[in-house]
Amino acid sequence: MPASGPLLPLSLRIEGGDRLVIDWNDGHRSVHTWKHLRAHCPCAGCREEISKPPDPFRILTEKELAPKPPLAPVAMTPVGRYAYKITWNDGHDSGIFTLEHLRALCECPECARRAPVRNPVS
């Protein structure tokens, strides 16, 4: 069922506790794991961090070494009619995921075959 206007989500839901499923107005069903979404956060801080080469001599802090609960969102708030802001249980909350970005990050089998995401911050 092709969309006759802008690409819009019809529904968002959590499936299996570890993924977000979005049904779109063009009939597509996107699947996103929380880990994948967090790794592809579009905020400036994450984009800068990803672009840096790893520092093999960086000393990890006690907080970084402490056991953590599984990564999950604590809130997903609409930003106008064009994006969602995800607040994560690790305290990160500055990523604004546009609808286009969410669609491009889809991990469903059909999208994974067509064009896997290569750049985490494209």
Q: What is the pLDDT of residues 58-89, one digit of tens each?
A: 888 898 888 888 889 999 999 999 999 999 99
**Residue numbers of the domain that contains 99:** 9-51+70-114
- At residue 119, the pLDDT reads 47
What CATH number has the domain bearing residue 45?
3.30.2020.30
Q: Which residue is listed with tokens 């985490």?
A: 120
Give pTM, 2 decimals.
0.79
**Token pair in block for residue 23:** 């049904």
In a domain, 122, yes or no: no
CA distance 99 to 102: 5
H-type helices in 1-122, by residue range? Answer: 34-39, 44-51, 62-65, 99-104, 109-114
In a domain, 87, yes or no: yes
Does 121 have pLDDT greater than 60? Answer: no
In a domain, 4, yes or no: no
- The DSSP output letter for 109 is H
CA angle 10, 15, 116 (to 5 degrees): 80
- For 10-14, 15-19, 50-54, 72-76, which range has the lowest pLDDT when averaged over its residues? 50-54
Let me know: does 102 contact 7? Beta carbons within 8 Å.
Answer: no
